[in-house]
Amino acid sequence: MYKIVGVINYITVIFLNAFTDLGHKIIIQNTIFKVYDGNMQVVLTAIVNALILLPFILVFSPSGFLADRFPKNKIMEYSAVFAVVITLGITYAYYHGLFLFAFAMTFLLALQSAIYGPAKYGYIKELVGTKYISSGNAAIQATTTVAILGGIIFYTVLFEGMYSDTLTSEKEILQAIAPLGWLLVGSSIIEWFFASKLPNKMKEASKRYFHLKRYFSGAYLRKNLKTVTRKREIFEAIIALSLFWSISQVVLAIFGEYAKSELGVTNTIFVQGVMALAGIGIIVGSIMASRYSQYFINMGFVGIGAFGMTLIVFGVPFVHSLSLMAILFSLFGIFSGFLMVPLNARIQYLASRVHLGTILAGNNFIQNIFMFTFLALTTLFAYYGMNTELLFYLMGLVGIFLSYITLKRYLVDTFWAVMGIFGSLRHTYTYHGLENIPKEGAVLLLSNHVSWLDWILLQLPLKRHINYMMDKDIYQWFGFHAFFKKGETIPVSAKASKDAWREAQKRLNIGHIVGIFPEGKISTDGELNSFHRGYELIKPNYDGVIIPVFIDGIFGSSFAKYKKSKKSFYKRRAISVYYGVALPKETTAQELENVIQNMKEKYETK
């Protein structure tokens, strides 16, 4: 992906934009932290965050129009010029100690980001294509997080170095740290330079026009919201992201006061440092989500992320050690990366090219409506004396709802994602012949059987879910039965095998993948057992193919019936799965056995 022309420049632009935005926000937040205490600190911090969110609400329609109407690289270039002008104004405010003016400039800096936000994220799909859409989103998320993390540490350390306990007012503090304004200006100028080098990826120019009358009357808003809500999965992904960002915004807004009142921490380096660890976690989580999405956008990580971050939010009030708090925030970041990368990639993947900018602008609009509302409620609760511990519990309840809606849609995907994570702790997987699996239509997937994990190995690289035929006793296993049922597994028993084959026939007739291990049992010596003819009872009148599969490398492991060799506990086992070319639906069990035996002789590692 990084060899594509423009990718490095694009990542640099993303980094500098986030680094500059965050720098000014941190300076204002640290000034508030030094001057105010208690509920007033929470209120002012929430207002700062609200000023950052409000522009995304106000320019929903214009920003979406611009991203769809003009080349996205040009929008980023002109926005960078706007950022230079704004940072010069911010620097002027610092030198003259104009706290309210600098406070208000937070809004203008956010306005610049809001205008080019849809273009920035829409450019990912244009630049790297759908092949690298998960990797592109992971790279941008990691880059943005590194910028935020770097900005927090960089500007907080410089702020503390210039700050003195003798400074008691906002004016005195701003004048003391005023030279930091020139760093903001410099970053914006460099961002402008790299933005000017981005290639134009717009295939066809749009001829649409923007009418202010329709904007102020709300006509554009109504039309664009219809576009955003037209595809249910896109809208549900936007709602999930909105709830996630709302929880995150409130947690970050109240943590400063919580650290001061409950943990006794007054140094902004420690406070910002703990929150910055969430950024490191996001980087790790984004990379992991990208790695497990190398074959398709792995939506199972959304459920894991939502559930994990909910547990963390509930756990924060029970921790009274800064070091343990740092661990919690790191984990919070990892689960955040799990959730953000697949949801953003899915939205971009499902959105049509002509409406991509509008949908991404709508994503920003709805997310910021949620975040603005949550911050307003936080400000209200803090103003009337609700302590930060209760606010953490409230956010935990929101997290429960987020977990419910994500697991309801992605429960089966979440199960497979969990299996993939646990499996990769002990194994490395290599898949061959995935192109032989049709993207749609019926598939009878027939494989050799060498371990208890074979059914997991076959599913991990496939976006389409396999409907396995499974022994009824295993199907009824406690703790797994619900997942087997949700995954549309077909139970087989000796007394009702004909019913099972008829059910398999139905699944194939409606275009599903049905998975069967024709040996009927796990091999105890690594050799193929005789293939049973049961699958031949399925009439070949479905519109599909038979795909033979050979699994190599797991025989002899702790998950096989025969332990072939002892390996170091710390050495991961290399497993390869080979999906063969399609066979005729009339292929007999003996013919199939010969095909897989030939694959075994060709591919098996000795």
Pair (485, 399) in one structural domain:
no
- Among 424, 444, 471, the domain-final residue is 424
Pair (334, 258) in one structural domain:
yes
Pair (445, 378) in one structural domain:
no
Cα 541 from Cα 535, distance rounded (Å): 13
What confidence score (pLDDT) does residue 447 get? 94
3-state secondary structure of 494: helix
What confidence score (pLDDT) does residue 208 get? 67
What confidence score (pLDDT) does residue 209 get? 67
- pLDDT of 299-349, one tens digit each? 999 999 999 999 999 988 888 888 888 899 899 999 999 998 899 888 888
Where are the strands (E) in 406-492, listed by range? 427-432, 442-447, 466-471, 490-492
Q: Is residue 116 part of a domain?
A: yes
- pLDDT of 165-180, one tens digit each? 788 788 888 888 889 9
What confidence score (pLDDT) does residue 568 get? 52
- Tokens standing for 295? 């074959």
Q: Is residue 526 part of a domain?
A: yes
Pair (244, 143) in one structural domain:
yes
What confidence score (pLDDT) does residue 515 get? 93
Cα 342 from Cα 337, distance rounded (Å): 9
What's the domain count of the chain?
2
Q: Check: CB of residue 469 under 8 Å from CB of residue 492.
A: yes
- What residue type is 156 in one-letter code? T
- Among 424, 450, 465, the domain-final residue is 424
What confidence score (pLDDT) does residue 566 get? 54
What confidence score (pLDDT) does residue 52 get? 77
Tell whether the model's pLDDT for residue 496 goes beyond 70: no
- What residue type is 399 in one-letter code? G
Structure confidence at residue 204 as a pLDDT band (50, 70, 90): low
Structure confidence at residue 17 as a pLDDT band (50, 70, 90): confident
- Tokens standing for 273? 């440092």
Least confident of 15-19, 39-43, 454-458: 39-43
Pair (377, 444) in one structural domain:
no
- Tokens standing for 490? 């077909």
Tell whether the model's pLDDT for residue 565 goes beyond 60: no
CATH of the domain at 578: 3.40.1130.10
For tokens 């992906």, name the residue. 1
Give the containing element (helix H, strand E) for 555.
none
The residue among 556 and 155 whose pLDDT is bigger is 155
Pairing of strands 490-492, 466-471: parallel
Pair (528, 393) in one structural domain:
no
Q: Is residue 93 part of a domain?
A: yes
Q: Is residue 465 part of a domain?
A: yes
What confidence score (pLDDT) does residue 207 get? 64
Tell whether the model's pLDDT for residue 210 goes beyond 70: no
**Given its phi and psi angles, is residue 193 left (phi above 0), alpha (psi -120 to 50 degrees) or beta?**
alpha
- Tokens standing for 351? 């959105």
Cα 300 from Cα 283, distance rounded (Å): 18
The residue among 503 and 498 whose pLDDT is bigger is 503
- Among 372, 393, 424, the domain-final residue is 424
3-state secondary structure of 257: helix
Other beta carbons within 10 Å of 221: 16
Pair (205, 282) in one structural domain:
yes
For all residues of the chain together, what is the average pLDDT?
A: 84
The residue among 123 and 565 whose pLDDT is bigger is 123
Tell whether the model's pLDDT for residue 567 goes beyond 60: no
Q: Is residue 1 part of a domain?
A: no
Q: Is residue 199 part of a domain?
A: yes
Pair (443, 419) in one structural domain:
no
- How many percent of the chain have pLDDT more than 90? 27
Tell whether the model's pLDDT for residue 569 goes beyond 60: no
Q: Which of these, 153, 141, 414, 137, lies nearest to 282 by C-alpha position?
A: 141
Least confident of 198-212, 248-262, 354-368: 198-212
Pair (64, 118) in one structural domain:
yes
- What residue type is 458 in one-letter code? L
Pair (411, 559) in one structural domain:
no
Pair (106, 35) in one structural domain:
yes
Q: Which of these, 372, 307, 442, lies nearest to 60 by C-alpha position?
A: 372
Range of the domain at 354: 7-424
DSSP labels, 434-451: GGGS-SSSEEEEEE---S
- pLDDT of 133-153, one tens digit each? 878 778 887 888 788 777 877
What confidence score (pLDDT) does residue 338 get? 93
Residue partners of 374: CB distance under 8 A and separation at least 6? 246, 247, 249, 250
What confidence score (pLDDT) does residue 287 get? 86
Q: Is residue 492 part of a domain?
A: yes
Q: How many residues does the chain have?
A: 606
Pair (306, 443) in one structural domain:
no
Q: Is residue 301 part of a domain?
A: yes
What confidence score (pLDDT) does residue 374 get? 84
CATH of the domain at 60: 1.20.1250.20
Residue partners of 474: CB distance under 8 A and separation at least 6? none
The residue among 595 and 376 whose pLDDT is bigger is 595
Structure confidence at residue 549 as a pLDDT band (50, 70, 90): very high
Tell whether the model's pLDDT for residue 453 goes beyond 80: yes
